Structure 1
Amino acid sequence: MSRLTVILFSFLILLQSIDINFNDLLKFDALIEHAQYHKQVHGDNFFQFIAEHYGNTAANHDDKPDEHKKLPFKEHHHVLCHLNSPLILTQQFSYNIKNTEVIESPVNFFYKESVSIFEKPSVFQPPKFA
């Protein structure tokens, strides 16, 4: 049971890392329908269809943009969400840093040895005043 859970979570992380969401999975019907259209009209096989719509020649083939927006993996409006915001900001910010003087406070604490009745006084003691 734990292996199945690990495999499912790994698959979920994989899908999220390559930016596949549920809306893209729902658009696979449009992908298959459009691929069949290309096969009937242009005689393309599935790999040629994928190359025309998702490969290097996708910009040249974009003659019907409304139909192509219905295909999965075409809407990437959140591409910049992984960039750090300091890279996006172009406005210059200036900060005024005030130098304040450091005020030294007098030392109010002096170390004093605690007196304990459990300790026996020894003959050899460290000096009390240095």
Structure 2
Amino acid sequence: MSKLLSISLTLSILFQSIGFCPNDMVKIDEFIEHAQFHSEQYGDNMLVFIAKHYGELKATHEKEHQEEKKDHEQLPFQHQSHLSVVVDFILHTNKEEFKTLDFFECKTHNFHYQAPSSSVHSEGILQPPRHS
């Protein structure tokens, strides 16, 4: 489920970043008809047609052919806005319950000291050196 969600969000962001909307798919037939019109009327190939309507020749084509303005508005990819939607999910599985801490006193002793009782210590072998 999470893979499907992440793939769909990724595709949505990709399509929006290149300016593709679902309405553009509906207008593809107008694009093809207008491209055929340009091919018959002006002898334009597909690259020239795209340059005249979406590229560097767009401004001059719009000035010279005002009679085609209504047809140009029906072409896909004419919207100038850009919209991105980023959805962020944060899932917490932690329970937010606070428990009080119980303090207790430890009354047992965890250490034991025994006086040295080895024979080496009692015989006095471990003495500091003396001057002779």
How far is 1:65 from its partner?
1.9
Gap runs ≥5 in structure 2: 85-102, 110-132
Map of 1:81-92 to 2, 5 A cutoff?
A: none
Residues in 2 aligned to 1:33 and 1:51: alpha-carbon distance in whole angstroms = 16
Percent identity, aligned pairs only, is 36
Equivalence for 1:65: 69
> What is the identity, as a one-letter code, of the residue corresponding to 2:16?
Q
- Greater relative contact order, per chain length (Cα 8 Å cut-off, separation 6+): 2
Structure 1 position 17 matched with structure 2 position 17: yes
> What is the identity, as a one-letter code, of the residue corresponding to 1:46?
M
- Give RMSD over aligned pairs: 3.2
* Deviation string, structure 1 residues 25-63 (Cα, Å, up to 9, x no partner): 111100000000001100111111011111111011112
How far is 1:66 from its partner?
1.5
Greater Rg by CA: 2
> Comparing both structures, which one devotes a greater share of its residues to helix?
2
> What is the identity, as a one-letter code, of the residue corresponding to 1:31?
F
Q: Could you tell me whether the CA contact under 8 Å between 1:69 and 1:75 is conserved in 2?
A: no
Gap runs ≥5 in structure 1: 83-113, 121-130
CA distance change for structure 1 residues 118 and 50 in 2, over 3 Å: closer, same or farther?
same
Among 79, 104, 129, the alignment partner of 1:75 is 79
How far is 1:16 from its partner?
2.2
Equivalence for 1:118: 107
Report the TM-score, using the length of structure 1 for normalisation: 0.52
Report the TM-score, using the length of structure 2 for normalisation: 0.51
Residues in 2 aligned to 1:34 and 1:27: alpha-carbon distance in whole angstroms = 11
